[in-house]
Amino acid sequence: MALRIGITAEPIPSHVSALDYVIRPALEQGHHVTLHAPVVFRREARRRGVELHGAGTNWACDPLVQRTASEIWTGLGNAPFNRYVFGHLWPKQAEAKARDLLTAWTRARPDLVIAECSDLGAHLAAKVLGLPLLAADNGLGPVLLDLWDTDIAPALLPLYKQYEQDTPVLPPMVTPAPVAWFYPAPPSSARAVRRTVAEFRTALPGWLDRSPSSRPLVYVSLGTLTTAMTDLRTVVGSAYREIMAALSAIDCDAIVSAGNLAEHLRSTGPRIKLVEHVPQPALLRHADLFVTHGGRASLLDAVQGATPVLAMGVLADQPDNAAAFARRGLGRALDLTATRLQIADAITDVLGSPQYAAAMRTADTELSQLPPLDLMEQWKGCDLV
């Protein structure tokens, strides 16, 4: 039996990729998948072979939203940033998403809704229509749980009352990693499932084929969202410059993926290749070290490539993720404002210490042993919300 599955995503550049562990199994198991997301994701849907229905606005790309959020981050720090973004901005956008989904799902009712854990409008629409709902952890699950009672649920309550619904509750979640890796206090409803990525992201382009080299390969990426926010973009640009200055003093090859910041940066040496984008999961199977912003998807890409990390957390869940991976011995963590000397010392330490790579191989084994995501099983066991 093929299910009609509605998957929802919010307008953050990396969020469709973060849901590949749900999208790919659904397609491989023969289900009909529709992605309900802003139309900016049309290309991402096409690349994955799923139908796109436009839902919600592209609010995350609004220059005023980006400027305000980045000013809060630079002026007040990450905790106030999280309260503003997840306790104010995200609930504020829920009504438009819910309205679009109520229209779409009344017209063509899905058998199962799999919504991003942060897609608050999708949670409400499924609840109003009595649809089976599962939340897919996109990496923000720990932040949402931390802020749910104090910030998120109170902000959602007026909207829920408008639709004559009870108090907002975060739905049961699936997460593509052992729960204890990212949750200090694991929620009872979270279930860990095997992680997959889109097939096209596993192929290494011809231009990335390396000629034999005795030097280690370092891959650097500080994420996509961080380069889109005005004040934050300046801080991240400075971090890229410090990282490349550190790399130029080390006997290694490096690929630095900086998104739309790449055109404003300059390589500091012939062994440092500066690009906009690369297929990260494929490249990390060839790299010896990953300098990363600590996003959950990026860290799991590193685990599946058995590549130790130097994590420099930026915002949201990333600083906590970086610290958690350092505690597990999977690499090192540094503040985003670290100097080139501190960065060079950390890179040299990780490249020269085999225990980090050994810990990553152990983590990769643990990750690969998680049970596959069975959508029919999830559907049969999913209570109506």
Over the chain (385 residues), the average pLDDT of each successive run of 10 is: 94 88 96 94 94 92 87 92 94 95 96 96 96 94 94 96 93 94 85 93 75 85 75 87 95 92 85 91 94 95 97 93 96 96 97 96 97 90 55
Write down the pLDDT at residue 36: 97
* Beta carbons of 35 and 62 less than 8 angstroms apart: no
- For CATH 3.40.50.2000, the residue range(s) in the chain are 4-195+370-381, 205-368
* Residue with the two structure tokens 């491989």: 28
Q: Whole-angstrom Cα distance, residue 348 to residue 340?
A: 12
The DSSP-derived string for 197-214 is --GGGGSPPGGGPPPP-S
What lies within 8 Å, CB to CB, of 39 at 6+ separation is 52, 54, 58
Write down the pLDDT at residue 56: 93
Q: How far apart, in Å, do the first and last CA atoms of the chain sit?
A: 23
Classify domain 4-195+370-381 by CATH number: 3.40.50.2000
DSSP β-bridge partners for residue 133: 113
Does CATH place domain 205-368 in 3.40.50.2000? yes
Write down the pLDDT at residue 384: 42
Could you tell me whether strands 133-136 and 173-175 are parallel, antiparallel, or unpaired per DSSP bridges?
A: parallel
Report helix, strand or coil for 380: helix
* Beta carbons of 232 and 74 less than 8 angstroms apart: yes
Write down the pLDDT at residue 105: 97
Write down the pLDDT at residue 385: 39
What lies within 8 Å, CB to CB, of 214 at 6+ separation is none
Q: pTM of this prediction?
A: 0.93
* Beta carbons of 349 and 332 less than 8 angstroms apart: yes
Helix 340-352 and helix 230-248: axis angle, to 10°? 60
* Beta carbons of 152 and 87 less than 8 angstroms apart: yes
Q: Which of 73, 156, 170 is nearest to 117 (CA)?
A: 170
Could you tell me whether strands 331-333 and 272-275 are parallel, antiparallel, or unpaired per DSSP bridges?
A: unpaired
Q: Whole-angstrom Cα distance, residue 241 to residue 249?
A: 13
Main-chain dihedrals φ then ψ at residue 32, nearest 5 degrees: -90, 120
